[in-house]
Chain A
Amino acid sequence: MIVMVELKSRKIFASGVWKENPVFRQILGICSALAVTNLLINTLIMGLSLIFVVTMSNVTVSILRSITPTRIRMMVQTLIIASYVIIVDVFLKAYLPDISEALGPYVGLIITNCIIMGRCEAFARNNTVWPSFVDGVASGCGYAFVLLTIAFFRELMGFGTLFGMDVMPGGWTNWIIMVMPPGAFFMLGAFIWIVRSLGPRGEEEELKK
């Protein structure tokens, strides 16, 4: 029994991180994916915040799933998500004021990040607490993984640094374009291209038509 549960959790986790990765398979929540990825450290904090919010919202929605009236469930979910975002925002302001300043409105914009709403709607609403928890962590990690990959290349090419440390050899010329908005678009476009050439096609294709 326990083995079965474990297997299932692992499957949920794997599909959240890779097979159904919210960013490049479902093209969800990319607003913040693009905006915060010019520095690795900001990206890391954003990723952790998102993992926290999506996990806790999934768990809360799952706990409340039997007593939430279907008609107003969207509103309830939004309020649950907003409450957790407020916790993150206040926490960052208190302990990491510099990063909170740099992330600006994008912490608040986690509320409208479709990944979280999508997971609550698609998964937590119909599942018990533990699978919802795993699903939340997995989706959050999948998102953070994409963000960190993009930020890695943007910071490396744009500033020649990683987490603020110089890593590029002396003669390196910074590609300023990489830390500016167009660089983010090109990077994510190229990333989606590479990932889709590697793996089977995601569910987004079916929605396209």
Chain B
Amino acid sequence: MEGLGLSAPVIFFAAIFTNNILLTNFLGMCSFLAISREVKASLGLGFAVIFVMTCTSALNYLVYYHLLVPLGLIHFRYIVFIIVIAAFVQLVEMVIERSSPILYVVLGIFLPLITVNCAILGVALFMIIRNYTFLQSVAYGAGAGIGWTLAILAMGGIREKLKGASIPKPLEGPGIALIIAGLMALAFMAFSGMIQIQ
């Protein structure tokens, strides 16, 4: 219902800035905290997430509305979504291993991580709760992926600069990362006057 009034580009924009999946929905935090120590690794993981998120949101949409709903199996959506995501990631891994060794070196190690990234499953669940159309779902998936990448890149950059800082011992690592994420969430809230989806 909520989704109907918004066009796909608006949802795309909102998913990047006003409703950033990491900073407002807290999804994908585990890999966010683990990987964001360097910009380079963040970028690799970010691209993998954008790609997988866009494609799986389209796939999950088709599976949900053309398979599960007609068959009356919507309670099994969690299992089905997980299998779709895992199968897709496996497939992509095999394809790029064959076709593009360079891309495989860049993305290869990140792909298995993505299966357990809760943001991917989160996108699929949100698109159903918000009753998005196919186009809106794909826009939301792509936007959420880009938004996530933006956040992890910014975090990687900040944490690289922090290496020389003298942080209290117990606050090192995840502690300081969470405080920074809080500040970033504050900064992103400045966008929220523009559009709101929720």
Q: Do the beta carbons of B179 and A86 come within 8 Å of each other?
A: no
Q: Do the beta carbons of B121 and A109 come within 8 Å of each other?
A: yes
Q: When chains A and B are docked, how far (Å) is the Cα of A30 from the Cα of B176?
A: 15
In the complex, residue of chain B having the shortest beta-carbon distance to the beta carbon of A195: B170
Binding stretch for chain B, among A9-17, A122-130, A181-189: A181-189
Please tell me if A82 contacts chain B, counting CB pairs below 8 Å: yes
Q: Do the beta carbons of A31 and B182 come within 8 Å of each other?
A: no
Please tell me if B125 contacts chain A, counting CB pairs below 8 Å: yes
Contact with B along A71-110 (1 / 0, CB 8 A): 0000100110011011001100000000000001100110
Distance in Å: Cβ of B10 to nearest Cβ of chain A = 21
Within the complex, which residue of B33, B82, B171 is in contact with A27, where a contact is CB–CB below 8 Å? B33
Within the complex, which residue of A83, A104, A181 is in contact with B24, where a contact is CB–CB below 8 Å? A181
Please tell me if B118 contacts chain A, counting CB pairs below 8 Å: yes
Most A-side CB within 10 Å, residue of B78, B79, B117: B78
Q: Do the beta carbons of B29 and A105 come within 8 Å of each other?
A: no
Q: Do the beta carbons of A185 and B185 come within 8 Å of each other?
A: yes
Distance in Å: Cβ of A157 to nearest Cβ of chain B = 14
Mostly helix, strand, loop or mixed at chain B's interface?
A: helix
Please tell me if B126 contacts chain A, counting CB pairs below 8 Å: yes
Please tell me if A45 contacts chain B, counting CB pairs below 8 Å: no
Q: Do the beta carbons of B75 and A89 come within 8 Å of each other?
A: yes
Q: When chains A and B are docked, how far (Å) is the Cα of A82 from the Cα of B185?
A: 31
- A21 cross-chain contacts in B, Cβ below 8 A: none
In the complex, residue of chain B having the shortest beta-carbon distance to the beta carbon of A78: B82
Q: When chains A and B are docked, how far (Å) is the Cα of A197 from the Cα of B168?
A: 9
In the complex, residue of chain B having the shortest beta-carbon distance to the beta carbon of A29: B30
Q: When chains A and B are docked, how far (Å) is the Cα of A204 from the Cα of B33?
A: 12
- A32 cross-chain contacts in B, Cβ below 8 A: 26
Q: When chains A and B are docked, how far (Å) is the Cα of A179 from the Cα of B30?
A: 21
Please tell me if A111 contacts chain B, counting CB pairs below 8 Å: yes
Please tell me if A114 contacts chain B, counting CB pairs below 8 Å: yes
Please tell me if A113 contacts chain B, counting CB pairs below 8 Å: yes
Q: Do the beta carbons of A85 and B185 come within 8 Å of each other?
A: no
- B182 cross-chain contacts in A, Cβ below 8 A: 182-186, 189
List the interface of chain B (C-beta within 8 A of A): 23-30, 33, 75-79, 82, 86, 116-118, 121-122, 125-126, 129, 168-171, 173-179, 181-183, 185-186, 189
20 residue pairs A–B, Cβ–Cβ below 8 Å: A27-B174, A30-B26, A30-B29, A30-B30, A31-B30, A32-B26, A35-B27, A86-B76, A89-B78, A105-B125, A109-B121, A117-B116, A180-B189, A182-B182, A185-B179, A192-B174, A193-B175, A194-B170, A197-B170, A204-B174
20 more A-B contacts (CB under 8 A) besides A109-B27, A190-B179, A195-B170?
A27-B33, A31-B26, A32-B26, A75-B86, A78-B86, A82-B78, A86-B79, A105-B125, A109-B121, A109-B122, A114-B116, A181-B24, A182-B189, A185-B178, A185-B182, A189-B182, A192-B175, A192-B178, A193-B170, A197-B168
